[in-house]
Structure 1
Amino acid sequence: MNPVIRPAAPEDGAAVWAILEPVIRAGATYALDRDMPRDAALAYWLGQDRVSFVAEIARQVLGTYYLRANQAGGGAHVANCGYATHVEARGRGIARAMAEHSFEEARARGFRAMQYNFVLANNVVAVRLWHALGFNTIGRVPAAFDHPDAGMVDALILHRQL
């Protein structure tokens, strides 16, 4: 079943937090403070400098992503996104559906490319998905992230044209 992807609404805060909290607390994929409080996490994810979406199946929010400009000014034509899937819904194609939706949204908003600045090299599921969706690894930052289990991990910079 394909998810319905729609703009996030204020009443989605609890569902978005239910997705983000385990990701943030694990500290294994995003360079965010593992002790980040709920309000700060929601302000980050649903911030004024981005547009945020949720992915639902049977009216249950199972994924979320945000879309923003990667840089200001002369770099504002390149999009950037962050994605998260509910821990119990992983492996069901929700991340892929959100990614494909984000490409369409980005194009509709005038972006010409998309860049992910900090994809951990040991996040093989994500790296495989991004490569399958047309991203190229254009850079590698050695030992950029102190992973709670793997120690110092490289961060990849991924890019694709839209």
Structure 2
Amino acid sequence: MLIREATAGDWPHIWPIWHRIVAAGETYAWDPDTSEEDARALWTNPAKRVYVVEDEGTVVASAYVTPNYGGPAAGIANAGFMVDPDRAGRGTGRALAEHVLAVAADQGYRGMVFNAVVETNPAVRLWTSLGFTVLGTVPDAFDHPRHGRVGLHIMYRAL
């Protein structure tokens, strides 16, 4: 498994993962009907550092790191993670998360915040195992296709 910074040529490999996850409507608060052009603008915005995980030459996951706030609060990072659902349970997400946390610390961020983690997302276990805490939950904020209305966690970890 190789984790590296993404290049422009990686987007055609990231898009199918991005589209599958967002279209499922279970873990991201982005419109499931987002176009590929808009998805690319969201994920690869120039303010973000984007990473991919390759396994045997195939992109199987991606993440980005970006400031969550601006100005005097720009030392707090935000990140997004997507792992090919067919790779669940193989350690890809954990390896990518550990890499991104290390990169964020190296970039001088003092902490990382996730603004909207769907409380039914299995990744909540990963984030808590990596030291994130739930600062609060916005109740009934997310309309989950299987669970109905569920909360959105705000999670934080110092770096």
Pick the TM interval, shorter chain.
over 0.9
Aligned residue among 135, 140, 156 for 1:138: 135
Amino acid in the other structure paired with 1:88: D
Is the partner of 2:69 in helix, strand or coil?
coil
1:150 & 1:9 partners in 2: Cα distance? 37
Is the partner of 1:84 in helix, strand or coil?
strand
Asked if residue 53 in structure 1 is aligned to residue 51 in structure 2, the reply is: yes
Amino acid in the other structure paired with 1:25: A
How many Å apart are 1:146 and its aligned residue?
A: 1.1
Gaps of 5+ in 2: none
Which residue matches 1:155?
152
Which residue matches 2:26?
28
Instruction: Provide the identity percentage.
Output: 39
Which residue matches 1:77?
75
Report the TM-score when normalising by structure 2: 0.97
Is the partner of 2:77 in helix, strand or coil?
strand
Aligned residues: 159
Aligned residue among 40, 43, 46 for 1:42: 40
Is the partner of 2:89 in helix, strand or coil?
coil
Amino acid in the other structure paired with 1:28: E
Report the TM-score when normalising by structure 1: 0.95
Deviation above 4 Å: which 4+ runs of structure 1? none
For the aligned residue pairs, the C-alpha RMSD in angstroms reads 0.8
Gaps of 5+ in 1: none
Which residue matches 2:91?
93
How many Å apart are 1:110 and its aligned residue?
A: 0.6
How many Å apart are 1:59 and its aligned residue?
A: 1.1
